[in-house]
Structure 1
Amino acid sequence: MSGKTVVRPYGDTTGDGMVQVSFTLPVPHDKRGEGAALQLAGKMGLDPAMLVHARAMGDGFTFFVVYGRVGHLVDLAAVRVAERDYPLLTAKDVNGAVRRRLRRKLSVVGACIGTDAHTVGIDAILNVKGVAGQKGLEYYRELRVLNLGAQVTVPELVEAARAERADAVLVSQVVTQRDAHLHNVREMSAAFREAFPASRRPLLVVGGPRFDEMMAAELGVDRIFGRGTTPGEVASYLVHALTARRAAA
């Protein structure tokens, strides 16, 4: 990154402020609908705004892509993100660390809770086939993994964690209508804090594309992972967090 702390969006030329935005409106795909899309783009601050794509999305709905200039600046010095504060380990290093530090297998329980039936994310992290060329946590010899699948209730998850003597509980949430993912995670966090003493509570790790990684403390969990997370990142975090917890005990 350059030494600049304030930057503008880049479209056709450096610093021209051009951005591309997509959205769906509950209007038919016609001239009036296109005019409505441009009106919305103008109210969003795009000036001038150009409609570059429109496509019907069923009866009475249209998907739009607009392109235009904004006057806003990005202050890089004010950006706050959840930085990775632990080293990335290979599968061999993770297994070795678990053997040395825990002297037993690390127990992980994973699930999609509530009515969420989207298991692609949790399966990518847990299943042997993994994602992005990385094998999932089931591949790690020193990890014992139980994948409960989809639509698991919070009481079922707590009971499974107790039965497995889980060191960590991994929860994936994709469905976000009416902030269902936030409500579900808060319910889970409260249930685990009620069911376990603080010294025995499993690590609570949440993942999903719509989470703000800075909200871990607010939601009552130990870590939030967002889009693009790999099994290696999760395994490395578990080793780091459990080691730190044991050292602090």
Structure 2
Amino acid sequence: MDVLLLVAGGVVVLLASVLGGVTGFGFALVCTPLLLLAGFPLADVVVVNLTISGLARIVVAARLRAWVNRRRALWLVLGCVPGLLLGLLLRDSVDDAVLKVGAGTVAVGVAAHLLVRSPPPRAEDAGPPPRLQSGTAGLLGGFLGVTTSLNGPPPVILLSRQRAEPREFVADLAVYFIFCNGIAIALIGLSGGLEADRLGPLLAWWLPGALLGNAVGTALGSRLPVELFRRLTLVLVLVTGLATVVTSLAGR
């Protein structure tokens, strides 16, 4: 593999990890379009993103375990399983260019939604999160996760609409990413989609920087204005998502 490409990918992963640590959800939204633009195959991007994101969230889940909404997290995880299975069945029958356009479109749509509609203040008398909504968000996330690694948007929108408290928001997403990503990797491995000779070097080079970036981002998130970083992240997602769609449609 080209060393410059490997280094460029490492820089992308590091920066995406910092932003993901700040917001709790931005890693794949930033990393997927940029790695695709750099020329990495979609299948490799999916596995690398799922692996790094899942591992990075373990520390976050442990630190914020007291803030996990167990009912919502459980239904998000349960819902992701049928979505993962459906995505695994369909991903080999859909052209990579279509999936890339879909990934870029999802990124742009979610970023625009979150930029235009900031989550309202949390209601003091908010009831328990509905199981159907949580399960549906998990299902959609599972499908997007195993096909494009963008399993965050549906749960993010759910948590925003349900006015989750910031620490609860990050904690629930961390639990969801750990289990959803882990199950996705296991299913991809069982289907023969893991190629250690290609993926091993990528993870060996990128994982240390990703974990460092996630730690830095998590620390920054507790000290600096999160809303500023959140908006910068979403603007970057809009730009990279649009670029992914345009280059895919142009036949790059």
Q: Shorter-chain TM-score category?
A: under 0.3
Q: 1 or 2 for the larger relative contact order (CA 8 Å, sep ≥6)?
A: 2
Which structure shows the higher helix fraction? Answer: 2
Q: Compare CA radii of gyration and give the structure with the larger one.
A: 1
